[in-house]
Amino acid sequence: MSLQISDRVRALGQQAQADLGGIFARIDAIAEENTQKVLSAFQKHRVAESYFAGTTGYGYDDLGRDKLDEIYADIFGTEDALVRVGFVNGTHAISCALFGALKPGQTLVSAVGAPYDTLLGVIGVTNKGPGSLKDYGIQYRQVDLVDDEPDREGLAQAVRDPKVGAVLIQRSRGYATRASLSVAEIGKLCKVIREANPEAAILVDNCYGEFVETIEPTQAGADLVVGSLIKNPGGGLAPTGGYIAGRRDLVEAASMRLTTPGIGRECGASLGNNRLLYQGLFLAPHTVAQAVKTAVFGARMMELLGYRAEPASNEVRHDIIQMIHFGEPERLKKFCRGIQKGAPVDSYVVPEPWDMPGYDCPVIMAAGAFIQGASIELSADAPMREPYTIYLQGGLTYESGKAGILLAVEELLKD
């Protein structure tokens, strides 16, 4: 039994894969280096079977949970880290980091235009309910891009204000059309910020970027990196959660927002999830490489069909996200339906646009995942607005990701 893919589409797939041999070799080299880094951290911290035991209730003395914090700190080159299943998503983890780093009367600056849609309610740019930074007297300013590139001069001017307490840098493009930032580019922005305002905390939304390169933003000057465990660092096994890694005082302050002052990181039962978090982290460099290969293959397939893909298939990657521009809604919907048909879960479902919480327009999402909403598993989503661009990400294995792309192209080519 085989998937229903026409000879034409299979031939396109063979051509695309043949074009990518050198690029795949580069991706594998990055995965090998990152795997050795993770393995070294596991060995240094003497990971043992006993760390996989879970806790309940308050979660006091959870050795596996606390040791995982130390391992993340080593891997990200930081003083401290907080890895918890209590973070419901990346937005929650970033919110805790922002509230921990900022005080009433201070200002948050976004360094590369507007942040991801779901953070606008956290900041208070849009009214999504009480409790935003704005409600607590924290002002907001953003430095818009110039020709889709970071405005370093404008950033320096914005952060010179002594009221600026924190600067947020979003590594991935989100639903914007700018390029994702390399760690080197983030390092340059950190230098600009540090020279203009040495007191401002630099936070990086690291979602979709972990293990795509061989170093992380905290190794290039950032004070904190924040992300979701159901994206890259969970390796497809973490069932939920997020992480914060960086300067010890900022990690501690964020922990007080996750729970409450006086408790912080001391409470928070792992509920039997430690084994999945450890094993997922161990697999993460390889799994991320599979997702990057899937993105590159998807880009090349669409280029062969005449579509514009960003990044192009031959560009160096800084996250796992692939943009494909369709220009009109119906072709975009067809592509999503094909991705859904390639899913191991809910493959029979037909995705349709709907009003997702936190977004300002209907969003279509194709995702048949073992972990609900896990962006490290193959998915494709798009806001239903011009220029009708889809954001493709994930793929637990290249082979399954490739099959999903082939099925999406098959659907797209139907009359």
Q: What number is the average pLDDT over the span 390-411?
A: 97
222 in the same domain as 312: no
**Residue 86 phi, psi dihedral angles, 5° rounding:** -75, -15
Overall residue count recorded for the chain in this entry? 415
- What are 261's two structure tokens? 């002052």
126 in the same domain as 96: yes
359 in the same domain as 247: no
The pLDDT confidence band at residue 359, using thresholds 50, 70 and 90, is confident
- What are 133's two structure tokens? 């930074």
Q: Is the pLDDT of residue 240 over 80?
A: yes
137 in the same domain as 95: yes
Q: How far is CA 246 from the centre of its chain?
A: 17
Q: Is the pLDDT of residue 223 over 90?
A: yes
The pLDDT confidence band at residue 174, using thresholds 50, 70 and 90, is confident
Question: What per-residue confidence (pLDDT) applies to 293?
Answer: 98
What's the pTM value of the predicted model, to 2 decimals? 0.96
Q: What number is the average pLDDT over the span 391-410?
A: 97
Q: What number is the average pLDDT over the span 37-61?
A: 97
The string of pLDDT tens digits covering residues 7-32 is 999 999 999 999 999 999 999 999 99
Q: Is the pLDDT of residue 271 over 70?
A: yes
- The maximal CA–CA distance of the chain, rounded, in angstroms, is 66
Domain boundary among 215, 242, 272: 272
CA distance 136 to 318: 34
Q: Is residue 396 part of a domain?
A: yes
| Closest to 384 measured CA to CA, from 363, 414, 369 | 363
171 in the same domain as 74: yes
Domain boundary among 222, 254, 272: 272
Q: Is the pLDDT of residue 358 over 70?
A: no
The proportion of the chain whose per-residue pLDDT surpasses 90, expressed as a percent, equals 93
The proportion of the chain whose per-residue pLDDT surpasses 70, expressed as a percent, equals 99
Give the range among 87-96, 198-207, 297-306, 383-392 with minimum mean pLDDT: 383-392
Domain boundary among 252, 272, 292: 272
Q: Is residue 1 part of a domain?
A: no
205 in the same domain as 244: yes
The pLDDT confidence band at residue 211, using thresholds 50, 70 and 90, is very high
285 in the same domain as 259: no
- What are 143's two structure tokens? 């430095």
CA distance 329 to 144: 28
Q: Is the pLDDT of residue 219 over 80?
A: yes
- Specify the CATH number for the domain of residue 134: 3.40.640.10
319 in the same domain as 195: no
- What are 338's two structure tokens? 């094909």
Q: Is the pLDDT of residue 356 over 80?
A: no
383 in the same domain as 250: no
Question: What per-residue confidence (pLDDT) applies to 188?
Answer: 98
112 in the same domain as 228: yes
Give the range among 13-27, 274-288, 371-385 with minimum mean pLDDT: 371-385
The count of structural domains within the chain is 2
Question: What per-residue confidence (pLDDT) applies to 94?
Answer: 98
242 in the same domain as 285: no
Q: Is residue 43 part of a domain?
A: no
CA distance 33 to 415: 45
Q: Is residue 40 part of a domain?
A: no
Q: Is residue 41 part of a domain?
A: no
- Specify the CATH number for the domain of residue 349: 3.90.1150.60
Question: What per-residue confidence (pLDDT) applies to 361?
Answer: 85
H-helix or E-strand spanning residue 40: helix 21-44
**Residue 24 phi, psi dihedral angles, 5° rounding:** -65, -35
- What are 129's two structure tokens? 């309910």
329 in the same domain as 256: no
The pLDDT confidence band at residue 354, using thresholds 50, 70 and 90, is confident
The whole domain housing 92 covers: 56-272
The pLDDT confidence band at residue 233, using thresholds 50, 70 and 90, is very high
